[in-house]
Amino acid sequence: MKSKGKIFLVDDDELIIQILSALLEGEGYEVRTENKDFKNVVDKIAPFLPDAVMLDIKLPRTSGLDILKEIKNRGIEAQIVMLTADDTADTAVRAMKLGAADYLTKPFNNDEVKIVIKNTIEKVRLQHEVEHLRKISCEYFERDLIGESQMIRDLKATIEKMTSVHVSSVLITGESGTGKELIARYIHYLMFGSCKSRCEPFVAVNCAALPDHLLESEFFGHEKGAFTDAKAEKKGVFELANGGSLLLDEIGEMKPNLQSKLLRVLEERTTRRIGGKEDIPIDVTVLATTNRNLVDAVNKGEFRKDLFFRLSTFYLHIPPIRERQEDIPLLARYFLTHYSTRYNKKVIKSFSPEAEKLLISYNWPGNVRELKNLVERLVVLENVEEIPIERMPEWLRSQSITIDSSAERKFILPKTGISLEELEKDLIKQALERSGYNKAIAAKLLDVSYDTIRYQMKKFGME
């Protein structure tokens, strides 16, 4: 049977060694012990690579606290549980300040020993997962934003300026599917991803998904015994993200009572666990995203005005892809390459020109997420070098606007002449009406860029 964890037990009482060893081995742990050679005990602990060390405070000719210091100084990553016959708070506080994870008071209660060791081993497992994720996390952050439109170029320039000074909070808005979380990860990468030793933490919380009764505990953590179910201490997301970034996804759905507490954290740069007595300093960049209109939410009393102003000092709006149509082919090709590699469909190289025009002409209500899902489906189902328009889904072909071939004939100038400006204005108006006032599609109908149609609309007062 696989071991639940490795424990090194240090105590000068042979009976305690026997009782604890039998108890822990019966629970599935691998146990090693030492009850005599305390001078060299750290040399025996180190090669064993234990998950936890159970260490008596009072030992012959030495102190368990001194051994605890040496374990920490030598960088041994095991969690330390102190064993003591002294149940005064002073002893426990001294041990905790030196880095102990927990303590047990003699005589032991078997159930308490089981709970403490289980929680300690779980803490070790979580720490290993966090360290593993930190080592590999830089690989999962976008190094660049896909797009060549003026909107994306402006967005990149703004982000680069913000990240050069490590701003404390950023509000990111946009329709569902536009890539708000990707932007948040891009910001994090620019600030922390190029670090030499490790990537700083990136913690994401969906504010709309957390049950009300777990909100405060999740955000601020709690001390052991703070409430009925608080069997062990728990760090909140601000502590977990300390030194890095905290993504508060869908912050517009955050409950009002939590909004005020979040504001305090942002202003004071400290947090306090439930049941805690001390404020914990934090250095966190808060990246808040929402698809709601927070100005309307503020006016309706659903979102705190002071929190909105605090978050929106640095504000980014992600435009939908229908407003930056020149980016659609780039995104489609990027996803095509990505999924062709993932599904080993190396034969698929591109879209046909007609297929790309079809992608450009569609309205994309689901934005980048919808485009991404469509390309993944095509890669899985097709096995051709170039995906033709005939292989595109019927729903896409039926909903896209096609250009009447009669529009391709040359315009004949009337003998009496015509006002070019009035003709231009009239054609832009017709294109907007035909496209349902979708600027990206109107630009396609007139064979001009999105930026051109915006300029002309401003010129003729059509905005």
What pLDDT is stored for residue 105 in this prediction? 84
Q: Using the CB atoms, write b or e for 42-69: b if 16+ within 10 Å.
A: beebeeeebbbbbbbbebeeeebbebbe
Q: Which CATH architecture has domain 141-319?
A: 3-Layer(aba) Sandwich (3.40)
Contact 71, 51 (CB under 8 A): no
Q: Position 111: which residue type?
A: D
What pLDDT is stored for residue 404 in this prediction? 40
Q: Which CATH architecture has domain 322-399?
A: Orthogonal Bundle (1.10)
What pLDDT is stored for residue 405 in this prediction? 39
What is the pTM assigned to this prediction?
0.59
What pLDDT is stored for residue 226 in this prediction? 76
What pLDDT is stored for residue 135 in this prediction? 46
The structural domains of the chain, with segments of one domain joined by +, span 6-134, 141-319, 322-399, 410-459
Contact 273, 280 (CB under 8 A): yes
What pLDDT is stored for residue 193 in this prediction? 65
- Would you call 146 helix, strand, or coil by DSSP? coil
Q: Which CATH superfamily is domain 410-459 in?
A: Homeodomain-like (1.10.10.60)
Domains 6-134 and 322-399 alike in fold: no
Mean pLDDT per block of 10 residues along the chain (463 residues) reads 83 91 92 89 89 90 88 85 76 78 86 90 74 47 74 91 88 92 90 60 84 76 77 84 91 87 91 86 93 91 93 91 90 92 89 91 91 94 91 81 44 73 86 78 81 85 81
| Alpha helices per DSSP H over 322-419 | 328-342, 353-361, 367-381, 394-399
Distance CA 419, CA 460 (A): 14
What pLDDT is stored for residue 329 in this prediction? 92
CA distances from 37 to 14, 34, 41 (A): 13, 7, 6
Distance CA 224, CA 103 (A): 12
What pLDDT is stored for residue 114 in this prediction? 92
Question: Which CATH fold topology does 6-134 show?
Answer: Rossmann fold (3.40.50)
What pLDDT is stored for residue 388 in this prediction? 92
| CA-closest candidate to residue 193, choices 180, 204, 206, 184 | 184
Distance CA 425, CA 143 (A): 41
